[in-house]
Structures are given as C-alpha cells and as structure tokens.
Amino acid sequence: MDTSPKDAAEAAGASGARRPRIRLLTRGAVKRLGVAGLLAFVVGAGSWWWMFRMPGRSFTGEAPPLTEQQIELRDRLRSDVERLASGVGVRSFMQPRRLGDSVAWLMDELKAMGYAEVAQVWVANSGDPEAGETPTPNLEVTLPGTERTPEVIVIGAHYDSYYLTPGADDNASGVAGVLELARRFAGSPRARTLRFVFFVNEEPPHFQKATMGSLVYAKRCRDRGDDITAAVVLESIGYFSDAPGSQPYPPGLGWFYPDRGNFVAFVGNLESRGLVHRVIGGFRSRATVASEGAAAPGFVPGVDWSDHWSFWQAGYEAIMVTCTATYRNPNYHKPTDTPGTLDYDRMARTVDALAGVIEDLAAGQ
C-alpha cells in the first residue's frame, strides 16, 4: 500500500528520528582558536616589550625653574636658531649661496670654540640646473679620545632646509643643539673620540639618495674602517605642545604613547635597540622634560626619516632624537617654520640632559 508524505513524516516522528544538527564550531576548532588567540597575545605583548618598553621613567609634573646655566644655554640656542633660520634663511639645494653662507657661519662658530681644523667632505649638489654642479660640504670637527681613541661617537644634524622654508625646527634646532654640545666638550677630551658633524642634503630630492650628505659621510667612514660605536642625530628638537591631541602617530602606535606633544622622542631600528636604551636611560636620569622611545622596524613610517638612516645603511648603530617633526609640528616643511614658534626652555632642558648622555657614551658606558 502506498504511503503519503504526511504518513511518512508521522512514521518518522513516531520512530524517534531526528534531523541532523549542524555545528558551526567543533570543540577542537574552539581549542585551536583559543590557542591562536593566546599566541597572538603573547606575540603582541612580546613585541611591545621589545620595541616600546624603555628603561627609566619619563619626567612628569611641573618642571623646576631653569638653572642659571640652562638660561644661558637657552639664550645661545635661540641665537643660533635665529642666525640660521632668519639670518641665512632658506637653505635648500636651490639656494647654493645660502648653503655657502651657512657653511661659513658654522665654520666661524666651530673655530671660535677652539677647534683648529674643520674638515669638509664635499657632496654633489645640483643647485641651479643651468649652473651645473655646485658641491656643498658636510662639516666635521673631531675631539680625539684619550684612552679608546679608535672608538668614535658621532653627534650630527643636517643644516639644509626644505624648499622655500626657513627651517627653524627642521633643522636649525638640531644644528643649534649640536653646536652647543660641541661647545660643551671643546678642549675637554674624553676616553672615546667625539665627532660633531653637520650634514648637507638631508631634504628632498636628496633624501635617501646617493647625494644625501650623511649617506656620503657614513659610507666613507665604513670604507675607512672607522669604528663608530654610536651615532646620535638631532632632528627637529624645538616644537612642543601641551594641548590634548597634539601628538598623532603612525597607525597603531597611539596605543602606546601619550596624546600630548610635550616630550622628546628617541628612535632607532631593531638593530640599534641597545643604543636607544642606553641613551634614553641616561637622558631620563637627568632630564626635566618628558621623553619617549622606540626601537622599531625601519619600515614603520617616521622611524627612518633623518640622517640616522644613513648610518644604518653602513652597518652602524644610530638613533634619532626628535620632537617628531611632521607628526607634531603644524609648520613642518612650511614657510611658517620660524624661530618664534619654538620652545627654547624645553630645548635647553633637552640639550643639557643630552650633554650628560654624550658624556656617558664618550666614557664607554
């Protein structure tokens, strides 16, 4: 006898048959996801610890009044920034005469400190295309070491500016800082050799090209077999802000750092992690200005945006000391990057603490 669909359904129900259950995740899959999540957490925590955790504690609270020595330092820093950014003005590859004026002024300042010889390492500079090549030099003064002379500490900054900008923060501030450090150590040799270097052609179109002044310099050092144990590059150290939200970052890094642009940053690649730690640790033990640090892969935006990159290419450990430039300063690469926009009190606190850091490095610590 034929059975209707209805009768068949009732018969199936009477026999206790059940429709198959569909599981979205098996117990094994849940376990595997849990393990993967745990591994991701461990890797993330490990990466944070390795790249972003720094020794010591950043300065917090209200800074004490500047000391008499720091006030004098502040005034010299302001004078040097004004002399370069206002007195000379735009110092791009398009103005070779002004680059020449910068060189003449720097040489006079260094000689006045007692450095008898100012070495010049010439770098190709295109200048006016119709005028042909106009070479411009890196400048270097050396304070030979007393005990570990072959070991060299380089302290440097670029003196050129971006096209049509006076470059007070970028990078007359860094130049003023290196000048002050050269002044501080002049005539007082330490165990290791100190070199104070002023680079040309950091800005486009030379940036990270064969004509970049610091790259020419670093490669020359490597070819000679120079034992550079540390290179410290000062890049835009004058702009600070206490306003909430004044400090942006590359994607993802804002989780790890404050949102106020009131700190000095110490930046290196993974290979320079030890140097980053030594420098920021020494800085924090002395400074009355906030500080943050990172030892991150070079592909992270901003990590390699200055002359320290050149030393990495030559196999040397190098770091950048910076106020983060374009990530903080609204005047970056603009005609408004003028001396009046900088915080010279914080600059003085920064350079004063850096002098102690260089003291440590020069002693072999």
Concatenating the DSSP letter of every residue in 5-63 gives HHHHHHHHHHTT--PPPPPSS-HHHHHHHHHHHHHHHHHHHHHHHHHT--SS----SPP
**Residues 215-272 pLDDT 10s:** 999 999 999 999 999 999 999 999 999 999 999 999 888 888 999 999 999 999 999 9
Give me the residue label for tokens 């700190």. Answer: 263
Side by side, the strands of the sheet bearing 192-199 are: 119-123, 136-143, 192-199, 148-158, 227-235, 318-322, 263-268, 290-295
In the listed set 34, 55, 76, which residue is the last one of a domain according to the structure?
A: 55
Q: Which two tokens stand for residue 12?
A: 């199936």
Distance CA 199, CA 99 (A): 11
31, 125: one domain: no
Q: How much is the pLDDT for 211?
A: 93
126, 269: one domain: yes
106, 84: one domain: yes
157, 250: one domain: yes
In a domain, 352, yes or no: yes
Q: How much is the pLDDT for 302?
A: 94
Q: How much is the pLDDT for 240?
A: 98
Distance CA 247, CA 289 (A): 16
260, 309: one domain: yes
Distance CA 58, CA 38 (A): 31
219, 133: one domain: yes
126, 39: one domain: no
36, 105: one domain: no
In a domain, 5, yes or no: no
In a domain, 19, yes or no: no
Q: How much is the pLDDT for 298?
A: 87
pTM: 0.86
In a domain, 1, yes or no: no
Cα 139 → chain centroid: 21
42, 144: one domain: no
**Average pLDDT, consecutive stretches of 10 residues, N- to C-terminus, the chain (365 residues):** 49 52 60 48 50 95 97 98 98 91 97 95 67 80 97 98 97 98 97 98 95 97 98 98 96 91 98 98 98 94 96 98 97 98 98 98 90
Q: How much is the pLDDT for 128?
A: 47
In a domain, 170, yes or no: yes
In a domain, 14, yes or no: no
Asked if residues 195 and 141 have their Cβ atoms less than 8 Å apart, the reply is yes
- What residues contact 140, with CB distance under 8 A and at least 6 apart? 118, 119, 120, 121, 195, 196, 197, 198, 217
Short-list 174, 169, 362, CA closest to 279: 362
160, 43: one domain: no
**Residues 120-158 pLDDT 10s:** 989 986 544 444 567 899 999 999 999 999 999 999 999
Asked if residues 235 and 322 have their Cβ atoms less than 8 Å apart, the reply is yes
Distance CA 298, CA 276 (A): 14
- What residues contact 238, with CB distance under 8 A and at least 6 apart? 81, 168, 169, 173, 323, 341, 342, 343, 344, 346, 347
In a domain, 243, yes or no: yes
Q: Which two tokens stand for residue 96?
A: 């070779």
Q: How much is the pLDDT for 36?
A: 47
DSSP-assigned beta bridge partners for residue 290? 263
- HSE-CB of 193 using CA atoms within 13 angstroms: 15
In a domain, 13, yes or no: no
113, 43: one domain: no
Distance CA 107, CA 113 (A): 10
Please name the amino acid found at residue 30: V
In the listed set 40, 55, 70, which residue is the last one of a domain according to the structure?
A: 55
124: phi then psi, degrees, rounded to nearest 5: -60, 135
209, 260: one domain: yes
The parent domain of residue 46 ranges over 26-55
Q: How much is the pLDDT for 50?
A: 77
Total of domains in the chain: 2
